[in-house]
Amino acid sequence: MQASIQNPVTVAKRQFMFGRDDVERAMAGQSPEPIASHYVVIGEGRFPPKQVIIALTGLDRADFTTHHARRILKGLGFAVGRLDEGRLDDETRARARERRTRHREDLASAGAGGARALGRPSAQELEPFIGKWVATRGPHVLIAADHPSTVVDWLAEHAQQADSMFRVPETEQQASGLAPL
C-alpha cells in the first residue's frame, strides 16, 4: 500500500505536513459536529472544516477561518460544500427558522401524512448511508451511525433536533415496506 503524499500546509503561521490519508485517519471514528454552514465530505460523513483542521493540528478554533480550512481540504481533494441557508443574512435566517417552526406545528396538527412537505434527503444523498440509522433535518443528513442510540446520543450531545430518524433500507423490499414471503 502506497502512503499518501504529504503536503506542507500553513495554518495560523505554523507549518504542518499532512495528506489525504492523514485526514481520513484523523476523522475515522469521530462524530461530526453540527454543521452551521460549510462542510467537507470525508468518507461517509460531512464535517465542519474547522473540526477537521483542529483534529489534524491541535490548534484552537479561533486561530484560523473556516474558509482557510475549506481551501486546505479542497486542495487535498476532498469535496466541500455549503448549506443553502448559510448564504442568508441573520435576519433572513431567523425568519426562515420561524417559518419552519410554524410549518412543523401545522404539519403536526395535520397528521403524519403532512411530513412529506418538510423535504427529505434525496436517494442520492442517502446512498452512502445504506444500512445505517440517520437523523435528518430538511434535505440534509445530520448524523449517520450503525445504532439508533448513537444517533440519539449525538443529537442530545450537540443540542440538535431532527425532523426524522430512520434506518436507510438495504433492499428494495425493505424500502417498500413489504413483508417477507
pLDDT at residue 52, rounded to an integer: 96
pTM as predicted: 0.56
Where are the strands (E) in the chain, listed by range? 7-11, 14-18, 38-42, 45-47, 80-82, 133-137, 140-145, 164-167
Cell of 146: 450503525
Please tell me the distance from the alpha carbon of residue 137 to that of residue 162, in angstroms, as a whole number. Answer: 5
pLDDT at residue 25, rounded to an integer: 93
Q: Residue 163, Cβ neighbours under 10 Å: how many? A: 18
pLDDT tens sequence across 12-64: 899 999 999 999 999 998 889 888 889 999 987 899 999 999 999 999 999 99
Distance of CA 90 to the CA centre of its chain: 21
Please tell me the distance from the alpha carbon of residue 170 to that of residue 81, in angstroms, as a whole number. Answer: 27
Cell of 80: 466541500
Please tell me the distance from the alpha carbon of residue 148 to that of residue 132, in angstroms, as a whole number. Answer: 9
Q: Is residue 100 a contact partner of residue 85, using CB atoms and an 8 Å limit?
A: no
pLDDT at residue 115, rounded to an integer: 43
Give pLDDT tens digits along the chain (181 positions): 455 688 888 898 999 999 999 999 999 988 898 888 899 999 878 999 999 999 999 999 999 999 999 999 999 999 998 886 545 556 656 665 665 666 566 556 655 544 444 577 888 788 888 888 988 888 888 888 888 888 888 888 888 888 888 888 887 766 666 655 5
Which residue shows C-alpha cell 490548534? 59
Please tell me the distance from the alpha carbon of residue 82 to that of residue 86, in angstroms, as a whole number. Answer: 7
